[in-house]
Structure 1
């Protein structure tokens, strides 16, 4: 019985750790500036997957080049996925599509660095 409880705890812990956190690129210390920090949220719809598109644009006059993007799943149990659909590293903007699991919400934190 004790073994079963430990096994269940370990499986739960590993699942929690492997939540949908993503990172493209690496912020390079003082050279990179945090240029955007936004929460992306969308409420669930029973029995369906929800999607949300996040678009980051800059003004042309003082636009920085994106060097790193970090997405953190705020509610680990939601386990939403994220994919870059346009732009990204080396460009001035990015579009990211978030998808949830069935009957789950999207609640993530997006951080974008540039220089």
Structure 2
């Protein structure tokens, strides 16, 4: 099955494990996991950064901290948008920017709906 190829897996108690030996290209870098829990009462998710350590690479980068070039920062922490009712079609709501755009670093913005779950 496809899960055998995944780098990470969850155990029966919800613990995160390495599922296989990491490839060289997966070592000495952070992996961002979007972990989602869902039940009949709702959905909740969290972004979790996992560092997979390996032998030091030939460029001499540190394995102890995230390189500055890997971090994107947002000039604003809160973005506001107004959504008028009954509009058809697609409409721009807001523009999200980070310093990765101006510094020509690779980036991807992901928007997802977060529903707070009702706790038992």
TM-score (norm 1): 0.27
Larger helix fraction of residues: 1
Which structure would you say has the larger Rg?
2
Structure number with greater CO (CA < 8 Å, separation at least 6) is 1
TM-score (norm 2): 0.27
Larger strand fraction of residues: 1
